[in-house]
Amino acid sequence: MSENITTSIKQIDEITKTAMHAVDTLLDNSMEMNRFMMEKVLNDYESFVQLGEAYGNSTTSINKSMDKVKTKSIYITEMMQDVNTSLQEIDESVISTSNTIIDLTVSTDTIEQSMYSLSSISEENAQSAIQLYNQIDKYKY
């Protein structure tokens, strides 16, 4: 039973690690996209804004839209970091629970061994009691 629990715990740990790796990859890609938007797109956009100032309202509208994209990208990055933190906390909890289950399994095995020892001692005591009874019974009137 303890082997099954240990195997299950290892499988849960592997699944958690796979999920954390996927989230890390997603976070990295989101951050790279955000960096690209900040370094490339927004820089190019700033040049475009300077040229577009002559066109008035349309340029202002595009600027607002890009600010919204930037804000949402930052928000998504923060959310992904929160998800990553939560997954790390889950992983720590799974590991802690796994260790507790392993400790309980070891304790159960120890209790089981103690019970067998007590049973053996009880049998020996019963045999000794029978022998004593038989010896005492000889001396009855």
What is the C-alpha to C-alpha distance for residues 116 and 44, in angstroms, rounded to an integer?
A: 79
Over its C-alpha atoms, the chain yields an Rg (Å, rounded) of 35
Which one is predicted more confidently, 49 or 126? 126
pLDDT, residue 52, reads: 62
Return the number of other C-beta atoms located less than 10 Å from residue 80's C-beta.
Answer: 19
Please give the average per-residue pLDDT across 37-57, as a whole number: 72
pLDDT digits (tens, 9 = 90+) for 98-123: 888 888 888 888 888 888 888 888 88
What is the C-alpha to C-alpha distance for residues 5 and 12, in angstroms, rounded to an integer?
A: 10
pLDDT, residue 99, reads: 87
Mean of pLDDT over the chain? 82
**Would the pTM count as exceeding 0.85?**
no
The answer to whether residues 42 and 66 touch, using CB atoms and an 8 Å cutoff, is yes
